[in-house]
Amino acid sequence: MTEMAVCSSPEMTPEEEKLTIRDISMAAEAQTKEGDTFYLITQRWWQEWLEYVNQNQATTTIDGSSSDQPDSAGLNNLKRPSAIDNSDLIYEAESEASTIGIELHDTLVEGTDYILLPQEVWNQLYAWYGGGPTLARKVINSGLSQTELAVEVYPLRLQLHLMPKGDNLTIRISKKETLGELHRRACEIFDLNLEQVCIWDYYGRRKHALMNDMGKTLDDANIQMDQDILVEVGDRSNLALGACTSSVQENGSTDKDITSVLVEPSKSSFSIAGGLSASKGLSKNCISESSQFQNLTSPGRESDNTYGISGVTTRGSSCGLTGLLNLGNTCFMNSAIQCLVHTPEFARYFREDYHKEINWQNPLGMVGELALAFGDLLRKLWAPGRTPVAPRPFKAKLARFAPQFSGYNQHDSQELLAFLLDGLHEDLNRVKHKPYIKSRDADGRPDEEVADEYWANHIARNDSIIVDVCQGQYKSTLVCPVCNKISVTFDPFMYLSLPLQSTTTRTMTLTVFTCDGSALPSACTVTVPKQGRCRDLIQAISNACSLKNNEKLLLAEIRSHLIHRFLEDPLISLSSIKDDDHLAAYKIPKFVKNTKFLQLIHRREERETGNAQSTMGWKPYGTPLVSPISGDESITRGDIQFMVHTMLSPMLRSESVGHPDISDTNTSIPPSDPSQTTSSIEACTDSTVADSIHRNGGSSKSTALPKLPLQLVDENNACIDLSVGEDKAVKLSSSSMSILVFIDWSAKLLEKYDANCLENLPEVVKYGPVTKKARTEPLSLYTCMEAFLREEPLVPEDMWYCPQCKERRQASKKLDLWRLPEVLVIHLKRFSYSRSMKHKLETFVNFPIHDFDLTNYVANKNNPGRQLYELYALTNHYGGMGSGHYIAHIKLLDENRWYNFDDSHISTINEDDVKSAAAYVLFYRRVKTDNASVSNGAQSSAGHNIYSQK
C-alpha cells in the first residue's frame, strides 16, 4: 500500500528546506479556495522533520545577543528523516475488491495524529522524501452559511444495498457530490445501466425518499455518515410508478421478504460528526498560528498570523479566543465548556489559586479531579495565543465520573452542563462536614422568614463558587385538591428549564371519497396531536364524517395524480406527513376478505399550447378513486364496469340521467408520450382500443349501462380493454394488492360527468394570510417564563403525599421566583421524549439580549431593586434529535463584541444574528444598578464584576 519514490538527497541545508516550505505555505494560503486539495501527513513524521530543520536555530541570550549554544552541538547532527510513512493513519491493506480504498482510522485528531498540508507543500516534501501513502482530501464550503472553507477529512461512508439481488457494498463519497454522481458510482460498482436503477434514501432500512433530483447534493438531501442507500433494479418507469401506486412495499408486507435477503451492513465504528476535519476549518496546524509553522520563522522573529487561512486575526486581540478541537461528536461538550469558561466570575476564580477550596473528602464529589481538570482547561483557553486546545484530559475525567458521556456519541449539552455544575460544586464545596438539618413547614409563618430559613439551611450544607454565582431559590406551593392543605417550600435551583408553549396540535385537511356512489368527494379538516399517529387522524376523520359501523377509512398520499402510498400502518407518525402533502380518505366496507384495491386513475388528453389539433397524449390528472375487491371471488370485465359506474354516479350530470349512450364513438386514443408517462400508462394507450369501445357484451349487470373507456393493467403490465367481453373473467395478480384501471376522459364524456370535484385536491395545511401572520409571531421568553410559573396539577406519576389526608393526592403546584442568582442559566426545553420517540421543537423564541427584566416575576417584594439581566452567552443546537451540531455564541465583555465558537473555529458575529431558532441554553448575568442588590444573599466576592460593564 505504501507508495515509494526514489529519494535522492537534495542539495539543500535544513534551514533552506525550512524557508522553502514556509514560502510555499505563505503563497498557498492566499489562493486557497473550494475544490483545492490538501494532504494528510502523520504528526510523528512532521515533528521529526521540524526537529531536523530547526536543529541549527540560534538562541537569544538575556542581553539580546545571539549565540550558538555549544551544549547543543550534538543536535546539529540530527539525521535527515526517512521517507514519509503515513501507515499509522490508515487501516491494514484492503482487499483488491474493496470499493472504498484506503481507509483512515476513524478517531484521528487533527494536530495530534495528523496535520493537513496544502498541495504545493505536500508536493515539495514528497519530491524530497517520497514515501506515502498519499492521503488527499478536498476543500469544501461548510458552516451554516456555506461560506467557511473546511477540509473534508472524512467523506460520507455509505452502505449501498442492491435489490433484489441482495448485494451490499460500502463507498466513500463527498457530501458535496450530487445525487447524479451517486447514481453513476452505484451503476459503475454494480455494473448497471442508469435506466435500470432507482436510488432511495434508505435511512433506518426504510424507504424515505426517491433520490431523483440529480443536481441536488448529498448534503442538501440530508444523507448522513454510514447511512443505508437502496439501489433498486428494474425498469425505471415501472419502479417510479411502483413508488406511486404500490402499498405493499411501503407498508412492509412484501418488503419484509426482500429486505431479509440484504446482508447486514458492517457495524461501523465512530467517525467525526459531519465528516469534516475536527477543526471544522482549514488546518491551523500547517499554515496558521500553530507551533509547527511558528518554528519555521526566522530566529528571534516574533511569530504572527500573516499566513493564517481562516478565523479571526490574532494580532492585537485579547485572550479568550481559543477554540476547542472536536474529538469526535464532542461539540455538545465544547459549546457548554466555552459558555462556562467565559462566565467572568468563573474565569477569575479558576485563574486564581482555587486549590485551597477543593474538597478532597466529599463523597458526593470527584475528589477534586473534575475541578482540577476544568481549571486546567480554563487556564489554557484564557492563555495567550490562538492554537486550538484538545480537551482530551478533561473528557477522560468526565467519562470516569459520568460514564454516560464516555465514547463518541452525541449528547445533550444541557445534560452535560447540569452534571458539570453539580460536579464542580461538590468538588469545591467549602462545607467539609454537612450538618443534618430537618426543614420545617411554613405553618403560617411569613414567607420571608421561611425563605431565609430554607436558604440558610441550604448554605450550611452547600457553599461553593457555583452556589455563589449560579444558584437561586424559588417558592413552591402545593394545594391538596381534597382537604385544601397548603404546603409551601423554598427550594434552590441551578438553572430554569422553560417549556416552549408551542401548539401541541395541528389541523389537517383531507378529501373524503366514497366507493358506493353515495356522495360526492368532500374536504374534511380535523385537529390532531402534532406528535400523534395515523390512528389519531383516522379517528378524527371518522368522527367528523360520521363513519358507519360497517365502514372503515383507507388513507392515501396522492402525488402527481397517482397514489404514492397507502397509510395503512396505524402507528405511522403524523410528523412524516408534511403540510404541503395531499391526502385522500376512502370510505370502504369493513368486512371484505382478502382485500385488493381497485385504483381508478383518471387521464385526459393534453394538447400543445396554441395548437388545437395535435395532442401530447393521455396524462393522469385529478385524484384516483379506490374500491375494494375480494381476491377470493371471481370478477368479470362487466363487474369492473359496474363498479366504476357506481363510483362515478354522484358526478353524473342531471341532464345525462336516462341517456345511456355517453360513449364517444369517435374516440381515438393516440400513443402516449413515453417521456411523460409510466410504462403502464403507455401500455394502455393503443389506438386499437378505441375501435372496440362500443362493442356490447352481455353482462346482466351492465346491459343498461354505457361502456366506459376503461383499461386494466394485468400482472404482465399489458392492457386489457374492459369495454368488450363483459363476461370474460379478469385474472387478478396474486402478488400485488392494487389493481390499476385507467379511465380516459374525452371531451364528450366530460359533457356527461362533472369531474371538477376530482381536481384541486387541497394540501394538508393551506396557509392563508391570517394564519401565516400568526405563525410568524415569535414566542417570547417572557411567555415561556409565565408558562413555567403557571399553576398546574401534578402528573399522576408524581403525586404528592398530603400530611393531612395521609394519602397521595394529585395536588396543584405553583412556582414563584424568590431569589435570583448572579448568573441565570435558562434551558429552553426543545427536546421531548416519550416511550417510543424523540422530538425536537424548532420554535423560534424571541429572547431579550439586553434588559431582561424579571422584577415582576419575583415574589419576594422586600427586595426593591429591579431584576435586570443581560445575555452574554448561549449554546445553539442545529439539526435533529441524536445528531446535529452545537455551537456557542459568546460576548467578550471587555470588547463588547460577540463571537461564534464553532469547536476550533472562532469568528465574529453581529449581535443581530445571535437570535435564532437554534438557541438552546441561555446565560444571563445581572446588570449592576444603584438599587439592585445581590439577590441570592451570598456574601461572596464572586458576585462582583471582573470586567467593567460596557
Q: Report the catalytic residues.
A: 331, 885
In 3-state terms the chain splits into helix, strand, coil percentages (rounded to 5) of 30, 25, 45
Name all contacts of 462-465 with Cβ < 8 Å and 24+ positions apart.
Answer: 462/425, 462/429, 462/431, 462/492, 463/429, 463/430, 463/431, 464/357, 464/424, 464/425, 464/426, 464/428, 464/429, 464/430, 465/345, 465/346, 465/349, 465/354, 465/357, 465/424, 465/428, 465/940, 465/942
Q: Smallest Cα–Cα separation from 337: which of 370, 386, 365?
A: 370
C-alpha cell at 704: 343498461
859's CB contacts (< 8 A; 6+ apart) are 447, 475, 816, 817, 818
Q: What is the largest CA-CA distance in the chain?
A: 118
Burial classification of residue 243, based on how many CB atoms lie within 10 Å of its CB (0-12 exposed, 13-18 middle, 19 or more buried): buried
505-514 vs 583-589, strand pairing mode: parallel
- Residue of 442, 422, 439, 471 lying closest to 818 (CA atoms): 471
Question: Which amino acid belongs to residue 797?
Answer: E
The C-alpha atoms of residue 718 and residue 238 are separated, in whole angstroms, by: 12
Rounded CA-CA distance 743/749 in Å is 10
Question: Count H helices, E strands: the chain?
Answer: 21, 42
Expressed in angstroms, the distance from the first to the final Cα of the chain is 60
Q: How far apart are alpha carbons 916 and 844 in whole angstroms?
A: 6
Distance of CA 134 to the CA centre of its chain: 33
Q: Any idea how long the chain is?
A: 950
Strand pairing partners for 225? none
Cα–Cα distance, 233 to 199 (Å, whole number): 9
DSSP 812: E
Contact criterion met (CB below 8 Å) for 263 and 194? no
Residue among 622, 541, 598 nearest 574 (CA): 541
Record the cell numbers describing residue 699, joined without a space: 353482462
State the residue for C-alpha cell 449501498.
Answer: 160
Whether the link from the prior residue into 133 is cis, omega within 30° of 0, is yes
Cα 424 to Cα 430: distance, rounded to the nearest angstrom: 12
Kindly give the interhelix angle for 369-382 and 344-351, rounded to the nearest 10 degrees.
100
User: What backbone phi and psi angles, to 5 degrees, belong to 799?
Assistant: -70, 155
Q: Which residues contact 289 (CB under 8 A, 6 or more apart)?
A: 303, 304, 305, 308, 314, 385, 386, 387
- CA neighbor of 525 nearest in space, from 540, 514, 505, 535: 540
* Rounded Cα–Cα distance for residues 191 and 167 (Å): 12
Question: Side chain identity at 399, as an amino acid letter?
Answer: A
Sign of the Cα torsion 283, 286, 287, 293 reads positive
Phi, psi torsion values for 274, nearest 5 degrees: 85, -15
Position 937, amino acid? G
